[in-house]
Structures are given as C-alpha cells and as structure tokens.
Structure 1
Amino acid sequence: MVGDLILTSQKLILNTNYMLFLYGLFTIFMFSLLDRYMNEVSSMDFLYLGLFDSMIAIPLFSSRYPDTSYGFLFLGLSIIPLLKLYQTYCNSKYFHFINLVTRLAVVATIAVFLLDNVSIFPVEHSDTVIYIILFIGLLLTTFLAANIYREKSITPIFSSANLILILSIIGGALGESIEIIILGILIFSIVATVALIDNFVKEYRNETLKYMREKLVYKDILTSMKNRQSFEKQLKEDDKNINDFNSYWAISIDLSDIKYVNNNFGYSHGDKLIQNLADSIEDTFEDIGNCFRIGGDEFIVLIKNEPKEKVERYIELFESVVSSYNKLHDIKMITSLGYDSYKFGYDKSIFDLVSRTDYMMCKNKRRFKTSWMPDKEDE
C-alpha cells in the first residue's frame, strides 16, 4: 500500500515536471518567433522565463530530488534567468545589487559543483548551499516584485505571479511536497506569461504608433523619401560632429518644368515624374549617402567620408540614369545639379555648404525645349 502511494507520487511528480519542462520549451519557442518576426520590441523576457522553467525541471527527472551534482548545478543557476526577468521591470537603482547576487550565485553554484565532483563536498552537503542560494534569490524576487508593483512598470498580474511562486515554495517546503512546488512554479509561469504577453502587445503597439508618427513627421508622403524636417534634423546633428568626418558632400538636385507638366498633362503626371526622379536618386545614391526631398521639385543628397572621385563617379551614374529614362519616356526628366564638399576652416557650418550647392545648382539650371514642349508660336 505504502509502495503504491510512493509510486503514484513519483508518477505525479514526473508528469507535472514534464508539463513544466515542456512549458519552458514552449516559452523559449515563443521567444524565437517574437524575436524573428516582431523584433521591434525585445522578447528576452520569454527566453528568461523559459530558461528558468527548463533549468528547474531538468533535475526533477531523476528519481530523487536531485541526486547528482549536475542536478544541483541546474537548480542553482536557475535563479539567474529569473532575476534577469525581474530586472527588466524594476527600478534601475537595483541593477547593481541584482548583478551582484547573480555573480555570487554563479560562483557558489559552480564551486559546489566542482567540489562535489572531486568528492571534497558531497551531495548531501551541496543541497544546503543550493537551497540557500535559491532562498536568497527568491527573497530578492519578492522585493523586486513589490518595487515593480509600486512603479507600475508592468501589469500587477506579474506581481501576483510572484506571490504564487513564493507561497507554493513555502507551502511545499513546510509540507515536504515537491508536487506543490512544481505545480506552483508551473502556475507562476503561466500567469507570468499572460502578464508578459500583455506588456509585449502594449510595447509593440506603442512602438508601431511611434514609427507611424515618425513616418508622418520625417517622411515625404509622395515619394517616401526623408523630408525637409528630417533633412534639417540631420544637418543639425552632423554640424555638431563635423570635425569627425573626413569629408562631407552635398548634392542639390532640381527638377525643371514641373509646373509646365502639371498645367499641360495633369498633376498625376507631375507627381509620377517626381516619384520617378526620387526613385532614380535613391537607387543611385542610397549606398553612399542620405537622400531627401526638401521641396516640391528640390532634392538633396548628403554624403560622408567619401573621396571626390567616388562622389563624381556616382553623379555621372545618376546623369546616365536620367538620360536612359528620357530616352524611354515622352515626358522628360530635366534636372539641374550642383555639388560641393565642406571646406574645413572656411565654412562656418554645414548650412554654408548647402547654400553654396543650392547656388551652384541654380547657376547650372537650364531651360530645355523637349519634344513634348511646343514652341511659343504653336502655343
């Protein structure tokens, strides 16, 4: 009768432990999916929780709890991913203390493991050290959970999960029931996962809204290029660090006769011509510089740390792209271009360079009469 009860208890422990281990693998799998397909927000919390579950479960697959130093190694180190999970949401002033406890846990656990393997510190003494490490770590998680609850850095469900974890471990220890401990850890993991998913969704939504706001503020709607606000922001940042660059180039590009196209062929054709020019600029210069649309028919390219020969080679490539486009289309893409580099010791700021290239572009501007532009007599 007693033997049957022991066997039933062992099967219950093993089955519950299998569930805990599989749940740990499931949480790690969730991390891999979120990290790959939704990497705008960190999913490391799921990895920490999965590692904690797996490292707790591995020693319990033995008939005794645990019966080797390898089991104690996993058990002692399991507190580290748990503390890292809590560190994500607690006040930063506790980071140093958390890192200190994790280092001590690593050193103590590995020391016990090595001493046990050389028979200096047998298993029956090792368990006391490991349980002390776990007890200190769990006390720290309770303190951190209270801080998280006060800071409201994550839903209160997370703090409730920690309460379930502590009560199950205390209850299991007092009642000498491993089943209660394993079941409590499993329930803690499920409740914590709900809190983590809720927090992940909120952060992902916030990051998406932030991205959309930045896209509206810093992106040109017609061409999807960076707009004038983005250009001015870039200039201010680069102007502060101008001495860090070996060279700094600006290329001003203007699309001529866009007004004529709009008036005679419609705004849709004018918009299409602007889009085609934007594509030509980005296709040519995006490998070496940042491209901006700063006005209706005005574009500029900023290039850093490139020699003059390379910049001029890309300008020639751009002109050949425009020439090829004009051979294939009735409505021509007539562009004017001016470029120069920042003169160290002469220019007071990058804005002087931009003004100079804009002047050079205007000076080089030409009015071309194309096949689709009628003579004045014909008009």
Structure 2
Amino acid sequence: LLQLTGIADFYELLWITHISLLVTAVFMAASLTFEYKYYDNPEVLPFAKSIFLMVAFFIAELIAFYFGDFYPTSTFIRIGIVLFIVSLGIHTLKRLRKAIDNSRKASIMEKLAYIDILTGALNRTAYDRDLEGLGPEDEKVVIAILDVNDLKIINDRYGHSAGDETIRLAYKCINEAFGDYGSCYRIGGDEFACIIRGESVDIFPQRLELFRRLVEETAAEMEYQFGVAIGYAHSEYENHQDIMSFLSHADAMMYTCKRKQKKVSGEFNHDAE
C-alpha cells in the first residue's frame, strides 16, 4: 500500500518484515524454552531443533542481504525450510515407529495376560472372562473340567521338571481333542477346563473318545504313570445364575472319574479316562 501510494519503496520496507520475522523467531524460542523448562516436556526438543535450524538459515539470509550479496537471495531460507520439513518429518516417523512398537508391545502383553506360560493354554483369567461371556444366546454349551492324576507324587518322585512335562503333555492331549472346537484353559496347577459352544457340542462325544485315546497313547510312552480325569456338563444354557450348578456338576463328575481311575490303578493311574 505504501509503495502504491508512492510513500515508500518496497525495498525500503524490508527491514520491517525482517524485524517482524526475528521477533517471531525469538517469541517461538522463548515459548519452546518455557515449555521444556517449566512443563518438563521433552517432546518440544525435536521441534525446537527443527525451528532453530530454519532460523539459522534465515539469519544467514539476512546477513547476506544486508552485506550487499544479493545473488543467494532466498537461497538460504529455502534450504532452511527444506531442512525444517525434513527434520520434522524424521521426528514424526520416529514417533510413529515408537507408537507402532508400543502398540505391538501392548497387544503382546494383553495376549500374555490371558496365556499360561508353561503350556501355552488360555489361563484362569481368560476362563473367568469367557464364563462371564456366556449368555442366553449360547443355547448349547459343554464345560469340561480336567485334572492331572497324582501330579504331587510325580513331582516328589521324579522332580518338578517331570511334573511340568506331565502338565504340558496333558494340555497337548486336551488341545488336540478339543482345541479346534472350543477353548482350552489351564485353571490351576494340575487342573484344566474346556468350553465348547454351539454346533461343536454335537461332536463332543467323538472328541471325548479321541481325548481318552490320546491319554492312553501318551501314558504308554511314559516312564511314570500318566492319567487325566475328566468331567463335564452338557446343557442348553438359559440363565447365568445357573453357572455354579453347571460347574459343580462337571466338577463332581471329574472327581468321580478320578476316584474310579485311582481305584483301578492304585497309587498311580495306568488307564486314563
């Protein structure tokens, strides 16, 4: 406007623009310093470095301009802007990668929260969660409770490594028989459970026979006796209030199975149920 009215030439007013830019740069530097010092925000450091890099090239531009070297006019500031964008982009990519890594770690930790480390089975937390999730829409449900026979004796006589191997083998049998048709859990030291829903319930008897055969085959290869007792409840699920009686029935059946196995085999189980 001043140039159009003939009051002042554009070139004569550049110092105002330069001072305004310098004041802006000083204000931004002060703001970033305040944010870092008083709010202890380390996130401002990468941005501050990018800003200071651009300001350094802007100052170089001013020095060249006021010392009469007009050839590189706008060259320094362009380089500064490009470096600012590149620096900020690198920082953004690092933050994005860190966020992805944190998300992946959180996902892994969330999964581990529901996994039994020894066997790889779902754990008691997952079991309780899935029991809570049963509802009226689950018209067909089988809950099986399983218990490894004589685990304490195996631990005492053959060592805890043998006991751990027994638990892993028990889960292997359980998972091979029921894992593709339901969810398998380790809910205690020697205790497991399975929840089977929907149409998979119809083939539970066949999977049960497979489980018994797998236990027998595993027992035949062991240097010590191996057995797993099983009890189950099979019902059309109607009300969450029935869950305790539902579980009690499965638990009682499992202990009946265990007593029968011990009666047949004595101290150790030779023939798995």
TM-score (norm 1): 0.47
Q: Which letter does structure 1 place at the counterpart of 2:128?
A: E
| C-alpha separation in 2, matches of 1:312 and 1:161 | 69
Assess, with a 3 A threshold, how the Cα gap between structure 1 residues 233 and 161 changes in structure 2: closer, same or farther.
farther
The corresponding residue for 2:108 is 211
Q: Report if the CA contact (8 A) 1:347-1:353 is conserved.
A: no
Q: Distance in 2 between matches of 1:325 and 1:200?
A: 47
Counterpart of 1:326 in structure 2 is 219
| Counterpart among 115, 119, 126 of residue 223 in structure 1 | 119
Query: Residue 219 of structure 1 aligns to which amino acid in structure 2?
Result: I
Give CA-to-partner distance per residue, 1:111-146, whole Å, 9 cap, x none: xxxxxxxxxxxxxxxxxxxxxxxxxxxxxxxxxxxx
Q: Would you tell me which structure has more helix in proportion to its own residues?
A: 1
Aligned counterpart, 1:22: none
RMSD across aligned positions (CA):
4.1
Structure 2 distance, partners of 1:291, 1:247, is 17
Match 1:277 to one of 165, 170, 180? 170
2:25 maps to what in 1? none
Q: Provide the secondary structure at the position in 2 that maps to 1:218.
A: coil
Bigger Rg, which one: 2
**Partner AA of 1:218 in structure 2:** Y
**Number of equivalenced pairs:** 220
**In percent, how many aligned pairs have the same letter?**
23
User: Does residue 197 in structure 1 map to residue 94 in structure 2?
Assistant: yes
Partner of 1:87: none
Corresponding position of 1:303: 196
Tell me if the contact between 1:155 and 1:199 (Cα under 8 Å) persists in the aligned partners: no
What's the CA shift string for 1:292-311, capped at 9, x where partnerless? 11112110011122243312
Paired with 2:245 and 2:86, the residues of 1 have a C-alpha distance of 60
AA partner of residue 184 (structure 2): C
- In structure 2, which of residues 35, 43, 46 is the aligned counterpart of residue 155 of structure 1? 43
Contact 1:158–1:192 (8 Å) recurs in 2: no
State which drifts further: 346-355 or 298-307: 346-355
- 1:189 to 1:268, Cα distance in 2 relative to 1, 3 A: same
Give secondary structure in 2 for the equivalent of 1:243: coil
Q: Please identify, of 295-304 and 337-346, the stretch whose mean Cα deviation from structure 2 is larger.
A: 337-346
- Distance, in Å, in 2 between the alignment partners of 1:153 and 1:282 is 50
Q: Distance in 1 between matches of 2:122 and 2:207?
A: 20
Deviation (angstroms), 1:327: 2.0
Q: Which runs of 5+ in 1 are unaligned?
A: 1-148, 168-175, 375-379
SS in structure 2 opposite 1:330? coil
Whose RCO is larger (CA < 8 A, sep 6+)? 2
> 1: distance between equivalents of 2:78 and 2:91?
20
Structure 1 counterpart of 2:141, from 248, 251, 268 = 248
Conserved in 2, the CA contact under 8 Å of 1:157 and 1:195? no
User: Judging changes above 3 Å, is the alpha-carbon distance between structure 1 residues 286 and 251 closer, same or farther for their aligned structure 2 residues?
Assistant: same
Q: Give the whole-Å Cα distance in 2 for the aligned partners of 1:153 and 1:287.
A: 50
Paired with 2:50 and 2:204, the residues of 1 have a C-alpha distance of 60
Change (3 A) 1:345 1:373: closer
The separation in 1 between residues aligned to 2:96 and 2:239, in whole angstroms, is: 53
Q: Give the unaligned 5+ runs of structure 2.
A: 1-34, 56-72
CA distance in 2, matches of 1:347, 1:284: 27
* Counterpart code for 2:153: Y
Alpha-carbon shift at residue 272 of structure 1 (Å) = 1.2
| Cα distance in 1 between the residues matched to 2:184 and 2:153 | 25
